[in-house]
Structure 1
Amino acid sequence: MPTPKPTAGDTLSPFALPKLGGGEITIGGERQNWSLVVVYRGKHCSRCKKYLKILNEMRGKWQDAGFDIAVVSADTLEKAEADQKEFGWEFDIGYSLSEAQMAILGVYVSDPLSPTETDRRFAEPGVFVLRPDGTILLISISNGPSARPDLEELLDGMIFTKENDRPPRGTA
């Protein structure tokens, strides 16, 4: 039976994956700050690079608003390192996202169209905002590379949500 997709208001069971530079990134669970979690398709995705460039430029704004940032993919260590080196991303990058972890997040999973695209199944884009207690405030998942939330608009909305202690929406 497939794992049910998470809904806003659910508590995300924590899971860990390896982090570039050593250690682990834990997604979900309790933490001091709010969390912005971005799932990207991987090294093969040029649209991901554009999106992550914007996120990297906004990193300070998100941190100033009280958010930890985690960016994760199913890529291998070598692919994740190559992207980080090429693009200079300064946020935490997790790699080797498993299909079981993809299922926990409820993201769509795709097979590569050819061996030149990539060599493994991968997660389609997802953006999640988690409260410090580990509950999911916002879920945005896409079945393809072209639909993702605008990061400026998202940050503005999350600042409003925090300041006004707004509940998760779309829970029914």
Structure 2
Amino acid sequence: MPTPKPIAGDHLDAITLPKVGGGTVTLGGMRDNWSLLVVYRGKHCGRCKKYLKILNEMRDKWYDAGFDIAVVSADPLDKAQADRDAFDWQFDLGYDLSEAHMAALGVYVSEPLTAAETDRRFAEPGVFVVRPDGSLLLISISNGPSARPELEELLDGMIFTIENERPPRGTA
């Protein structure tokens, strides 16, 4: 039986992962700021690089709107570090996302097509907006690399939501 997907308004319990560069990154749980959480497929995914390039270029806009940013994958440290070095990502980058974490987030999980792609099961894309109280405001999960929310539109919508104190939608 498949794991149930999270629903907007659900509380996201804190998930702590190791962070490239040292320390940890915490997803969910209570915090001072809103959070943008992006789950990416890993080093093998060219579409992820394009998406994260846009996010990296927009990061100051997200920070100015009151958001923390965390980007995570199931990749081990060496692959996550290689991506950070190659693309100069300046957001918190977590690694070693486990299958239990993937289930908690409700993201789809795929088997690698070849050993050249990766050596482990990995998460398909997910984008989550988490309120400071740890509740999920927005959940966007995809079963493949081609469908993700457009980041400018998402930020515009989140600014409107915060300014107008909008509740989570799609809760039923």
TM-score interval, normalised by the smaller of the two chains: over 0.9
Using the TM superposition, give the Cα deviation of residue 104 of structure 1 relative to its aligned residue in structure 2, in angstroms.
Answer: 0.2
Q: Which residue of 1 aligns with 2:157?
A: 157
SS in 2 for 1:29: coil
Q: Which residue of 2 aligns with 1:53?
A: 53
Q: Following the alignment from structure 1 to structure 2, what is the Cα–Cα distance between the partners of residues 100 and 16?
A: 12
Q: Which moved more, 1:13-22 or 1:105-114?
A: 13-22
Q: Which residue of 1 aligns with 2:110?
A: 110
Deviations 1:71-126 (A, max 9, x none): 00000100000000000000000000000000000000000000011110000000
In structure 2, the gaps of 5 or more residues are none
Corresponding position: 1:85 with 2:90: no
Q: Following the alignment from structure 1 to structure 2, what is the Cα–Cα distance between the partners of residues 43 and 24?
A: 20
Q: Following the alignment from structure 1 to structure 2, what is the Cα–Cα distance between the partners of residues 25 and 46?
A: 24
Q: How does the TM-score come out when normalised to structure 2? A: 0.99
In structure 1, the gaps of 5 or more residues are none
Corresponding position: 1:170 with 2:170: yes
Q: How does the TM-score come out when normalised to structure 1? A: 0.99
Q: Following the alignment from structure 1 to structure 2, what is the Cα–Cα distance between the partners of residues 67 and 7?
A: 21
Supply the RMSD in Å over aligned alpha carbons: 0.7
Q: Which moved more, 1:92-101 or 1:20-29?
A: 20-29
Using the TM superposition, give the Cα deviation of residue 2 of structure 1 relative to its aligned residue in structure 2, in angstroms.
Answer: 4.2
Q: Which residue of 1 aligns with 2:7?
A: 7
Using the TM superposition, give the Cα deviation of residue 130 of structure 1 relative to its aligned residue in structure 2, in angstroms.
Answer: 0.3
Q: Please give the residue correspondences for 1:112-151 in structure 2 after superposition, counting only pairs within 5 Å.
A: 112-151=112-151
Say how many residue pairs are matched: 172
Corresponding position: 1:27 with 2:27: yes
Q: What residue identity is the alignment partner of 1:117?
A: E
Q: Following the alignment from structure 1 to structure 2, what is the Cα–Cα distance between the partners of residues 146 and 169?
A: 24
Deviations 1:6-35 (A, max 9, x none): 100000011111001111111110000000
Using the TM superposition, give the Cα deviation of residue 5 of structure 1 relative to its aligned residue in structure 2, in angstroms.
Answer: 1.2
SS in 1 for 2:48: helix
Q: What residue identity is the alignment partner of 1:74?
A: A
SS in 2 for 1:138: strand
